[in-house]
Each structure stands twice: as structure tokens, then as C-alpha cells.
Structure 1
Amino acid sequence: MTSTTPSSAVTALSVAALTVGLAAPASADSIGVRDPRDTSHGSDLRAVHVEHGDRDLVVTTHHTNLRRDPASGSAGTVYVDTDPGDRGPEIVLVGGYFVGTDYQLLHTEGFGRRSWGTPVDGSYEMTVDYAKDQVRMRMSRAALGRPDRVRVAVRVSGTRSDGTSSGLVDWLGEPRSWTLWVDRD
């Protein structure tokens, strides 16, 4: 899978930042980051494209072989950091990637489920395109508090064929690592 990027230099810079853990600001309104094929599950994360527009933040994740089957247990979590002065995420969009599931945008004070709080008021949506193996998540800037810049951390998971989910997790880069900051265009 490939993701659309403004330039190969931005992609290279994004991957380098994930590798060494830097969080330098991006000088573009969107970035794309690739992820290796590292799980055999249908939700294997291959690339992420982050677009911070005037009205919305759009995060598109690209996968290998997304599956409609609820037995896949495919799900994803996108953490959004809207405040450079606060270390962790302020918002989380969580949802399933199989048919018949749901999604929700929540306030959060960290990465763990126990940190997830109340639902966010505002416009947001998540759509899964099985033909393109991608999930598109749109969050209005108003729902996010109209930040000038954002960065995201992405985690996906699923259920193994034996019904267990232990260890079947794929983060974009290292666990709890962030993309570069993306300024509003």
C-alpha cells in the first residue's frame, strides 16, 4: 500500500522522526508515514496519512487485507495530541474495522483505556473501505478545540484465528510514538 504525501522528503523526515523519537514541527498541512508489514492479521497497519485542514483533521490508515468478518476483531485507535504543552493525547478516536461495529471520539488523559473519558461534542465520522484496505477518520477542528497543530499516534489490533488477541497489536512506529506535528493549512 502507498499513501499520498506532499513530497518524499516529508515522508522520509516523518519516518526518521518516528525512528529516533523526535517531534519537530512539520512545515506542511499533511504528512504520510509508512509502517512495515509486521502482523499477519487483516488489520496490519501499512501507512498513515494525516491531513490537518481548515475545517477538519482527516487521518487515513492503510492496511493489508481488511476483513468484514466480526471474528477478525479488527479495531483501531487514533490518539490526537492538540496541545504541545501537555505530553500526552487529549482526544482519542476508537472503533472497530469489521462490519456491524461502531466508533466514538472521546476525551483522554493518556494512552490506556482507563484514561478514556467522556464523549467529545462535535462532528466526526469513520468509514472503512474494504476494497481499498483503508479506514478514513474525519474529526472537525471544532470538536478538537481548533488546534493550530496536531500530531497522532495510531494503534490497531485484532483477534487471532484461535480467538485470542494477546500480542496482536500494531503501532505506527514504536508503541505510543507520535508523527511529526502537522500545522493547519
Structure 2
Amino acid sequence: MKLAIITMITFSLVGCAISPNSQSEAAAKETAFPPITSTVKALIQRCKNAHYNPLDIEYINADQLNQFIENYCSTQSTTKQLNEIEEIKHVDSNWPESYIVWFEHLTLHTQQLRTQRIDNFYLDRRLEQAESEKQSLDSQLKALTKQLKELKLQLAATESERLMNSSPQAFSQKEEQE
């Protein structure tokens, strides 16, 4: 029992001793890389084709991040953008947590954009097909309407001819035959 209590106290003390160091290491890592807010701001401004200031090269991976921002924003292809994200993620295996979260968020956003573009492409194709079918049906309807008018005219002419041919004499001859 005493051994279990001593072990628990030892692990607690070791855990407390490790925590501040890992926090200070994380803070040191964060300051060695460009601030995430500056990186996100640069990406947004560059993608809007607005003037932006590239990241200071004094930071770790600043050159690679500047190149990533250029490549990501210079293409409309979501496939290329996703490839750019994957490449920048593998530039350094020691990215700060804020960058890891940002890369994942950017990946998710780009994948959603890709899905929307694909859906819109297929919707546009379906709309074009529906419009083409509508035009075809409209032309068929016009042709049928024209044929119906012609048939009505023929029917009116036939009826008029029948009435002209059916004189009172023709009517009386029919009655005599019956």
C-alpha cells in the first residue's frame, strides 16, 4: 500500500515538473515561427489580390510559408490547393499546434469548396440538359399547334363543302332511299 502511494506521489510530482517545461517549450516554438495571425492575414490578403506583406524571413519556415501562400492563392484548382497544403505540412514535422490546427481547417475548407464546385458543375450540366429538353418540347409543341390549326382548317373546309353539297334535294333523296 505504501509503495502504491509513493508511486502515485512520484508520478504526480514528475507530471508537475514536466508540465511547465512542455508549456515553455510550446511557447518558445510558437515565437520561433511566424505568428499564426500574420500568416492567416497574409493568405487572406493575397487570395483577395490585395496588397500584402510577406512574412518576415527571420522566422522558421517563413520562406516556405510565403511560397505556400503564393502557390495556394495563384490557382483556382482545389486539387492543387490541397496538394499545396499537404506539401507545407510536411516541410516541418515540428509545426506549432496553432499551425497544425490551421492546416487542418484550411484542408477542410478547401475540400468543402471542392465538393461545392463539383456539385455545381453537375447541377449546371443537369440544368443545360433540362433547358435543351424544354427547347425540344417547345418546338414539338409549336409543330403540333401548327398541325392542329391546319387540321381545323381542313375540317372547316370539309364541313363547308359538305354543307354546300347537301342541298334540300340531296336531303330528300336520302330520305327516299331509306
Per the TM superposition, whether the score is higher than 0.5 is no
TM-score, normalised via structure 1 length: 0.19
Question: Which is helix-richer, 1 or 2?
Answer: 2
Question: Which is strand-richer, 1 or 2?
Answer: 1
Structure of higher RCO (CA pairs closer than 8 Å, 6+ residues apart): 1
Q: Which has the larger radius of gyration?
A: 2
TM-score, normalised via structure 2 length: 0.19
